[in-house]
Amino acid sequence: MADLKQWCRNLEAERITMSGLVPTLLYWLLDLPEASSHDLSALRTVYYGAAPMSPSKLKQLQDRFGNIFLQIYGSTECLQPATTLCKADHIGADPKRLASAGRVSLTVELRVMDEAGNPLPAGATGEVWIRSRATISGYFNNPKERRPNFAMASGSRAILAISTNKAFSISSTARRT
């Protein structure tokens, strides 16, 4: 919590316009009384990710700070966001959209697959497969880990399969490339 207080002081002092926070810290920001005593009006974009965001908490954040939020979803093995929920997607959005992973990035192919490697419909639970020019083709000096996690695609890039035991939803607004 002390770091979040310092974050508020830094934002105010430096007139910072963009920052990234995980949802838990954004929730704390709502609960931190001192946060409302800081002038954070210079803040124009807050990107969040790494965990699902509660649509009701997001609504509270929007009421307090305005439409400055941008969600990103990705993985360490893919050096670009795989999906985004841009500021415009947050305006008047229903909770289902706000709970989604957003739109698939233009240069990414993303699929949710079953255990046999078959595509699943939107909203289904399965493995997230990501393919892009920014996806690594394997782990350095660890070929053994490469086999279960990567399936070679055309060219030198791989499809990354991320196992998940939670529902990963691609909203009905997602574009599939």
| pLDDT on residue 154 | 38
More confident residue, 99 or 145: 99
Q: What is the pLDDT of residues 88-132, one digit of tens each?
A: 989 888 888 888 888 888 888 888 888 888 888 877 777 788 888
CA dist list (Å): 152 to 51, 54, 99, 109: 28, 36, 31, 14
Burial of 106 from C-beta contacts in 10 A (0-12 / 13-18 / 19+): exposed
Give residue 32's pLDDT band: very low, low, confident or very high (50, 70, 90): confident
pLDDT tops 80 at residue 151: no
Q: How far is Cα 62 from Cα 59, in angstroms, rounded to an integer?
A: 5
Give residue 1's pLDDT band: very low, low, confident or very high (50, 70, 90): low
Please give the model's pTM, rounded to 2 decimal places. Answer: 0.74
Q: How far is Cα 145 from Cα 18, in angstroms, rounded to an integer?
A: 36
Q: How far is Cα 140 from Cα 93, in angstroms, rounded to an integer?
A: 41
Q: How far is Cα 76 from Cα 134, in angstroms, rounded to an integer?
A: 11
| pLDDT on residue 59 | 92
Short-list 24, 176, 165, 172, CA closest to 100? 172
pLDDT tops 50 at residue 164: no
Residue 96, number of CB atoms within 10 A of its CB:
13
Q: How far is Cα 70 from Cα 48, in angstroms, rounded to an integer?
A: 6
Burial of 88 from C-beta contacts in 10 A (0-12 / 13-18 / 19+): exposed
Q: How far is Cα 63 from Cα 13, in angstroms, rounded to an integer?
A: 23
